[in-house]
Structure formats: C-alpha cells, structure tokens
Chains A and B, each alone.
Chain A
Amino acid sequence: MREIVIISGKGGTGKTSITGVFAHLAKNKVICDLDVDAPDLHLLLHPSKERVEEFHSGYQARIDKDSCTQCGVCAPMCRFGAIREDEDGFSVDPLRCEGCKVCVAFCPAEAVRFTQKHCGQWYVSSTRFGPLVHAQLFPGGENSGRLVMVLKQQAQEIAKAKGLDLVLCDGAPGIGCPVISSLSGTHLAVAVTEPTPSGMHDLERVAELCNHFQIGFSVIINKCDLNPDEAARIEAYCLAHSYPVLASLPHDPVFTRAMVKGLVVTELPETELSRELVRTWTRVEEMARRVP
C-alpha cells in the first residue's frame, strides 16, 4: 500500500483543488483529508457520513469555586498564563489552558478538576470517488496532530479491509504539528507551490521538513504564468536539489468555477488543463510507485 500526501507550506496555492482532481483520477484508493483545522475537500466530494466518532484529546483544568481557598499557589506556577484572578476569585481560561495538570498537582485544597476535552469529530464517509476519512476540530480546539494520526490509521485500516492500494491525503498548510503528523510514514509528499516570493520561501521549508523526516518529495508549480521568472527559479531550485517537478499548471479561474459547482476540474468538459492534470496524476502515481 502507498500513501501520498499533498502539502503546500503556503496556504492557498491550490492544494485541495488539485487533491480533488487526483481523488477523481486515482483508482482503488481511500481519500483522507488531514487538514483537520480548516478542511475543504468535502466541499468538492460531498460525503455522506457513514460513521461519526467523537475525538477526545488532552485535559482541561477547572477550579471548583466552592473548594478553592484563594491561596493563589496555582497562578504563578502556570507557565501558560491560564489562571486569572478577578472579583470572583481564581479561574482557568480554557483557551490558554494547556492541560498540563500542574495546578491540579499543586493545589493544596484539591480544588482543581481535570476533565478530558471533546475536541472535535471524525467521519468515515462515502463519496462518488470512493471512501473518505475526514474530521472537523471544533474551532478554537487543539491537538490536531493526534487527530491527524487517528485519520491516517483509519484510512489505512479501510484500505486493508477493502483491498485498496492507495491512501491519498490532503495535508494542512505550514510545517508544524499537523503537517509533521501527516508526513509520518508517508511514501511521497507532493508540494503544490506558486511562483511568488511566499510560495518559494515556504516550499524550501516544507522541502527541508521532508528531508528531515526522509520522505520522498516532489513539486507541482501551480499558477506558473503569474511570474514566469519566479517559476523558473523554483524549477532551478528543484533541479539543484533533485526534487522532481511533476507539473507546471497555469493560473486558471476554472478551478474556482469548478469549486463553485462543487466539482473537480476533470469533471468539467475536457480542456488542455484537464488533459495536463491527467498526465500529472500519472506522473505522481509513477513517482509514488518508485519510492522505496
């Protein structure tokens, strides 16, 4: 079984639109949306949820007002500045609480309650392109790295159970916790970039991250005609580092038109762009097969 993760570093480069196309073109796969923070793939795939699970992660401290003696031991010990004092006494700011349990352990009055947090939901759904594993963290929630691991594991189990040989994942922007989790155990990362100063800068950082974790790395340059000089610089950079450039795609509002219709570009009438996307997917597949 192969796992491919589409990432980007910078947001808004077209990662999800292109993942949607690959979800259309790939055979025998499970699709997985690992951008649990701001998932969008479902807007193209219109999943019908077959399984809904709660995601619990981490704990949350809460001061029981009746037991609290107002001694104030907890406040200076909290490294996250989560303990507030006002006219009602001490309380924990849930948005700042890291769930470290230090206030619980050191409260002489045992007045701090510690309960598990319900952070979001995850789903197994069916779509016109096959099974989709996806999730939604509650806005303002945390620990998306752990949820990413849960989704990947589910997707692999479904692939095994159904005899499918590919897990195709839409990743999150950035290089932090959720992205690191999404790369764990992956065969191939495909970075969708754009020829802008931010696109180039962020590409270098995701490339470094993939090297750090020894993940196969390849690149799609989207919106390549916005700045042909920068696109050429990205190609030269990729060549110098032996990162295959799998496609250079034009800036085309058809991606937005497809999105508005809730479709992927290859479902619209055939154009040169859609033919190029088909060729691009063939290259991604070949590349994923070659990675050890």
Chain B
Amino acid sequence: MRRTEPFCWRGKRGGWRWRVGWDGDAAERSVSWLDWSGCRRCLRAAPWCCLTKAERRLVGSPRHICTVMRSHHCAAGYGFGHGPFTRRSVGAVARQTESDAIQADSHFRRSARELTFGGMAYQWAHFFRTGGGCWRWQMSRSMVCGFGVRDLEPGGSKPVPITSEMACAMRRFSPDGTQIAVLQRRWQSYNCFLRLGSRAGCAFGEPLAPLRFSADGQWLLVQHLKSSRAPGLWCRACI
C-alpha cells in the first residue's frame, strides 16, 4: 500500500521526527528523496537528521548519506566534522526543523484567514503539530475531505492534503490567492487549488522548486533542483 500522507510526530526530546520513504515509495519515484534531501545550506533542514537509527537503516545506507552529505556540506563552508550533521548539532537541527514547522504553521493560519480557507488547514496543521492521535486523525481527515491534489499519472488519483509539512519547504502563492505551489520536504512538488472541492493540481516526479506564478495564474516558473544541486558534487569529484 502506498502511503500518501506525510507523517511526522514529536520526538521524545522535542523537535520533529519525519517518517519518510519506509514503505518503498522512494524507490517508485525517479529521484530518491535521499539524494536531494539537501543540507542546511540548501534547504532549511535535513529531515534525515531527525530519523531514528532504525528508520535510517530502512531508507538507505548510512555510508552513502555521510559521504555525500558531509562532502557537500564541507564544500558549503563548514569545516570537517562541523555543521549540522555532527552528532552534537543534531539537536540544533531538530530545533530548527521544529521552528520551521511552527513558522509554517503560523504562516498557514494567517493564509487560512486571508483566503477564507477556514480552520481546515489549521486543523490539519494542528494535528501534525500536536503529534496526532486517533480522534484528531479522523477529525482532520474528515475535515479536509474533498480537498486534495491529483496526480498526473494516468488513472492515478491520490488525494494529498495540504499540511504544515508541505508549507514548510518552499511555497508560492498565486497572485489571485487561489493557488499554492509547494515543495514538500520529501521533494515532491505540488500545485494545489485553495478552494474546497476543486480537484486539480500537478505532481512532478522530480524536485521542482516553485519560483513565481505568471500574472494570469496559468503558468508557474520552477527551478530544477536536481540540476542545480548536482554540479557541485560532480565538481568536487573532478578536483
């Protein structure tokens, strides 16, 4: 079964823990989220830092993560063994992740008021913020029922609710305020219509960061993160 909802919860010592890719959906995409999870310089936070050891084992080889991410990070200006990927600074990253989530949540609540989207986005964000629970889960699901993003895959239709996670990474609102383009922490891009019941949206197989909507709201400029991030790694290899 393919998990469609991003899932996160509070860690024991604060911060957020994100469950990602454990059911094999990373392998279904053309680009594994791990390859492009970015460092703190590239994206606000690196979610794999918040994974447990068991989850890390499930999503991939730790050696690969360390090699790629640490060399990338050293190149970004941190010394070897320093930066957010050391053991000591994992807590700092977790706090940053949490502050990102809270910031996105407050942003979303503000947006919800402005766009008369009601308390639904807030309810959903609240579910993630509080760590969730059965009754909250069911309530949130029912409240966002009918609102989702449809895949462009032929015959595929999977609703993806707007969550604080989606609003965290990169987001752009259309000029008329009816659409939002987001890049999830799991490096999936979505375009959503902020109107209940409207079934539309785009889901792309590669990480595309939304840059700007056109004035008429028909087009969206996006940045290919894959080609933007990769040259650095290749350059280092050449040197």
Same complex origin of A and B:
no
Binding site for A on B (CB under 8 A): none
